[in-house]
Amino acid sequence: MIRSLKLLYGDKLGASDGQIGSAKDFYFDDQSWAVRYLVADTGTWLSGRQVLLSPHAISGLYQPGKLLLLKLTKKQIDESPTIETHQPVSRQYEMDYYQYYGWPNYWQGDGLWGSSGVPMVVTPVSPGPGRHTPPGVPHTKRADIHLRSTQAVTGYHVKTTDGLTGHVSDFMMDDQTWAIHELVVKTGHRLTGKDVQIPVSKVIRISYEDSSVIVNLTSAAVELSPAHHLTPVGAA
């Protein structure tokens, strides 16, 4: 099923032994367009650090109840490798993170998720003697330049082959593969314009220097793209 990431912001996160907070953001790979991490807002529980949750840990997206269920305990999340708030995600951090939980590396293999096309929903093994950065020692080096925040890219201008046309307002994701299929673009005025969907295959690149998404479409083609109507899952 194709889901709106905008509708997932603020959803409660349920660990196997209690709630841990809510969904704050998503990090996606701007080459494969796969959502690699959900960023959790844990309030005062784990303040001062980012809590990243891989789709491997998420067992269900239950929109009517606004609840995302995790196959993790609060202790496992608390003791996972630490990355400070607002620090970039490094590949070394990801290696430690995936080793800690015992999940297959998504960057090794021909599939979107390594050897598979979908993130496997597994119960993490107990962390072994493998090396990982202890709590309080954040990773800050070798940032993965392709991991981007959906919250940050929302609002970026859409640059067509003949000018600027609207801005990014949402991302549409397959909830099985966690791959983003379309960008939602609001054309015209921010308040009175219309929302349309364009496939990510039409995106040439994302320019973070001038906050724009460059697409291989004319302004007219964007305007004539399929209309987007945001309907919550489970709504009548």
Of residues 231 and 8, which shows the higher confidence score? 8
Whether the predicted pLDDT of 130 surpasses 50: no
Q: How far does CA 196 lie from the centroid of its chain?
A: 21
Whether the predicted pLDDT of 200 surpasses 60: yes
| CATH numeric code, 150-223 | 2.30.30.240
The C-alpha atoms of residue 30 and residue 221 are separated, in whole angstroms, by 22
Domain ranges of the chain: 2-148, 150-223
Same CATH topology for 2-148 and 150-223: the answer is: yes
Of residues 18 and 143, which shows the higher confidence score? 18
What pLDDT shows up at residue 122? 53
The C-alpha atoms of residue 222 and residue 218 are separated, in whole angstroms, by 6
What pLDDT shows up at residue 165? 92
Second-level CATH architecture of 2-148:
Roll (2.30)
CA angle 151, 113, 108 (to 5 degrees): 115
Kindly state the tokens that stand for 225.
């793209």
Say if CB 185 and CB 222 are below 8 A apart: yes
Phi and psi for 233 in degrees, rounded to 5? -60, 135
**For residue 65, what pLDDT band results from cuts at 50, 70 and 90?**
low
Q: The pTM is what? A: 0.86
**For residue 231, what pLDDT band results from cuts at 50, 70 and 90?**
low
**Identity of the amino acid at 123:** T
